[in-house]
């Protein structure tokens, strides 16, 4: 009955300190309150978890409520819920309510209210079902209205009828839409914050019909209500803009310009949209033949637009620069680590050689024991040399693949800056850049096989003339013990691509 007070009370809680059951109930109440107060929710992840919580506990009453208001809520960021899933949730709630004989008229009323919108949504998906869908929606609304009246909740009863006018707009003819709005206007004790919403709907209906004087009357009523302090979510700037448009249609330039100027002044208070008012006023002057003022205002519109785009571009540039620097630092860290490992391996190899010489000079008398130890040391050296080879080729591959990423970031950033002027072309250019980078990376990797160090470390593979340079590199990596997934990570390709190359290598080898 008083959702605003409930939302105020919920702000006193710290959700992260609640138990799982209390957190689920807190999320449910917050979602219900947000729906009833017309508040957008940050994202749908918490209410989705709440649905699963009540489903796991077989709490059908709260599961039913969670499904209903999960479907009814508006989310700023939707992770899981699209319209189809929302309507599936309503269908499940309707089934749960009937099958488990839930006795709660409040939940039943809201269930019927939102089922009305679902039936119309199905109509838009299947336009051959217009009349039955519309009649079904009205049937749900009437049930909800009756329940709200029994509960003494006049506000929700009025909002439910207003909800009907929203979901059937464009479905019914003009007279039927007017009948619905007149019914709402005839309710005794119409809620103050509902009246501006109703007046706006009257205005748009009369404008659609071409009854412009009536439309202006209702739009001015909305402004008058806001001057008297009546709370409403309707933006005054939107109403002023609508009035200016109608006066322009009626060919009353003085009134159109008056409200266009007021709209411009209101929009200046919004830094992100301040330029829109100048653009609109410029079009009004241009239409009425005052090209000097129109040009002056359009210049202001252009200047404001340029400033906004400059700020936006600067912010994006700083963000891209930060990401680019982070990537460069990661690449440098990998290169430094590779050099350190190579140096450690070389030092270890030198130490082993010195040890071998010392053992050989000090134990010449025990040739059998010395030979055995030498064999073991040779195996160890071979292992170390293999590790050194592995590190060398890995380092070479990483340098060739990693070195392209700063260029790739720069090119992608340059193309991204064009997004405000083109769409499809930019998409194609970005894909071309990425494809070119992959091709260049592949060519650079192939160059490793021509290196003298490669010939020295992998003489047998180097002399296989039937293999391409690229295949030789992959052959060498497989011989060092890397699997397809690891090699794919080096080359920034899919493991299936590497496995395909491996198959070709087997065919050529056979």
pLDDT above 50: residue 447: yes
**End-to-end Cα spacing for the chain:** 81
For residue 252, CA distances in Å to 75, 91, 499 come to 41, 51, 74
Task: Quote the CA–CA distance of 302 and 496 in Å, as a whole number.
Answer: 51
Between 32 and 507, the higher pLDDT residue:
32
Confidence of residue 379 (pLDDT cuts 50, 70, 90): confident
Is the CB of residue 68 less than 8 Å from the CB of residue 107? Answer: yes
Q: How far apart are CA 60 and CA 95, in angstroms?
A: 11
Q: What local confidence, expressed as pLDDT, does residue 230 receive?
A: 57
Residue 215's pLDDT is: 92
Bridge partners for 41 per DSSP: 75
Q: CA–CA separation, 236 vs 323, rounded Å?
A: 41
Length of the chain in residues, anyone? 510
What are the residues facing 43 on neighbouring strands?
77
**Tokens for 269?**
């208070």
Instruction: Using a cut of 0.85, tell me whether the model's pTM lies above it.
Output: no
Structure tokens given for 197? 């919403």
User: What is the tens place of the pLDDT at every residue in 57-70?
Assistant: 999 999 999 999 99
Q: Which residues of 160-195 are buried (b: 16+ CB within 10 A; e: fewer)?
A: bbbbbbebbeebeeeeebbebbeebeeeeeebebbb
Gap between the Cα atoms of 199 and 480, Å rounded: 77
| Paired tokens of 251 | 């060919």
Mean pLDDT to the nearest integer, 5-9 = 88
Element (H, E) at 42: strand 41-43
Over the range 457-493, which residues count as b (16 or more CB within 10 Å of their CB) and which as e?
Answer: bbeebbeeeebebbbbbbbbbbebebebeebbebbbb
Structure tokens belonging to residue 153: 């909740």
CA distance 498 to 485: 8
For residue 339, the tally of other CB atoms under 10 A from its CB is 12
Name the token pair of 110. 């809201």
| 203-223 burial: b if 16+ Cβ within 10 Å, else e | bbbbbeeeebeebbebbebbb
Q: What is the largest CA-CA distance in the chain?
A: 119
8 Å CB contact between 237 and 214: no
Domains of the chain by residue range: 457-510
**pLDDT single digits (tens) 281-308:** 888 888 888 888 888 888 888 887 777 7
Over residues 386-435, the pLDDT tens digits come to 766 766 676 666 556 545 554 554 566 566 556 555 666 666 776 677 66
Q: What is the Cα 237 distance to its own chain's centre?
A: 29
Residue 218 has, within 13 A of its CA and on its CB side, a CA count of 21
Q: What does residue 467 show for φ and ψ, rounded to 5 degrees?
A: -100, 145
Tokens 């009907």 belong to residue: 164
Give the rounded distance of the alpha carbon of 175 from its chain centre: 41
Using an 8 Å Cβ cutoff, are 31 and 69 in contact? yes
- The phi and psi torsions of 43 (rounded to 5 degrees) equal -155, 175
- Per-residue pLDDT of 209-262, as tens digits, reads 899 999 999 999 988 877 655 556 788 888 999 999 999 999 998 998 998 898
Q: Specify the range with the lowest mean pLDDT, choosing from 45-59, 256-270, 348-362.
A: 348-362
**Stretch among 165-174, 194-203, 207-216 having the lowest mean pLDDT:** 165-174
pLDDT confidence bin for 319, thresholds 50/70/90: confident
- The predicted model gives 459-474 an average pLDDT of 85
Per-residue confidence at 53, pLDDT binned at 50, 70, 90?
very high
Place 19 in a pLDDT band, splitting at 50, 70 and 90: very high
């Amino acid at each position: 009955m008083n959702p605003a007070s409930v939302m105020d009370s919920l702000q006193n809680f710290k959700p992260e300190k609640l138990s799982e059951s209390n957190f689920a109930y807190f999320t449910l109440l917050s979602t219900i309150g947000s729906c009833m107060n017309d508040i957008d929710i940050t994202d749908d992840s918490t209410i989705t978890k709440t649905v699963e919580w009540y489903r796991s506990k077989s709490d059908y009453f709260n599961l039913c409520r969670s499904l209903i208001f999960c479907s009814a809520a508006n989310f700023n960021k939707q992770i899981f819920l699209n319209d189809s899933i929302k309507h599936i949730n309503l269908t499940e709630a309707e089934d749960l309510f009937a099958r488990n004989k839930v006795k709660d008229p409040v939940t039943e009323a809201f269930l019927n209210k939102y089922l009305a919108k679902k039936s119309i949504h199905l109509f838009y998906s299947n336009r051959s079902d217009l009349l039955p869908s519309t009649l079904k929606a009205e049937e749900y609304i009437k049930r909800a209205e009756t329940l709200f009246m029994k509960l003494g909740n006049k506000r929700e009863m009025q909002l439910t009828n207003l909800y009907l006018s929203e979901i059937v707009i464009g479905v019914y003819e003009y007279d039927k839409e007017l009948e619905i709005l007149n019914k709402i206007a005839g309710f005794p004790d119409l809620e103050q914050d509902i009246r501006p919403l109703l007046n706006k709907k009257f205005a748009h209906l009369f404008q659609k019909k071409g009854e412009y004087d009536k439309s202006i009357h209702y739009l001015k009523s909305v402004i008058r209500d806001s001057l008297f302090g009546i709370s409403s979510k309707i933006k005054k700037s939107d109403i002023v803009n609508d009035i200016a448009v109608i006066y322009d249609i009626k060919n009353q330039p003085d009134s159109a310009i008056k409200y266009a100027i007021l709209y411009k002044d209101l929009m200046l208070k919004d830094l992100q949209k301040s330029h829109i008012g100048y653009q609109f006023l410029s079009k009004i002057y241009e239409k009425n033949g005052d090209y000097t003022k129109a040009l002056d205002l359009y210049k202001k519109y252009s200047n404001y637009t340029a400033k906004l785009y400059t700020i936006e571009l600067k912010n994006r540039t700083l963000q891209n620069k930060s990401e680019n620097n982070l990537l460069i630092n990661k690449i440098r860290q990998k290169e430094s680590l590779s050099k350190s490992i190579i140096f450690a391996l070389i030092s270890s190899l030198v130490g082993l050689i010195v040890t071998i010489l010392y053992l050989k000079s000090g134990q010449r008398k025990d040739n059998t024991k010395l030979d055995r130890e030498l064999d073991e040391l040779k195996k160890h050296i071979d292992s170390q040399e293999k590790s050194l080879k592995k590190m060398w080729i890995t380092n070479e591959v990483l340098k060739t693949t990693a070195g392209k990423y700063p260029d790739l970031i720069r090119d992608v950033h340059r193309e991204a800056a064009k997004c405000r002027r083109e769409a499809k072309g930019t998409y194609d250019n970005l894909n071309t850049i990425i494809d070119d980078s992959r091709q260049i990376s592949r060519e650079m990797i192939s160059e490793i096989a021509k290196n003298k160090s490669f010939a020295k470390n992998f003489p047998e593979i180097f002399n296989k003339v039937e293999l391409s340079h690229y295949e030789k590199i992959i052959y060498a990596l497989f011989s060092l013990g890397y699997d397809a997934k690891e090699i794919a990570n080096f080359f920034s390709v899919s493991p299936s691509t590497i496995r395909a190359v491996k198959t070709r290598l087997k065919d050529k080898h056979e």
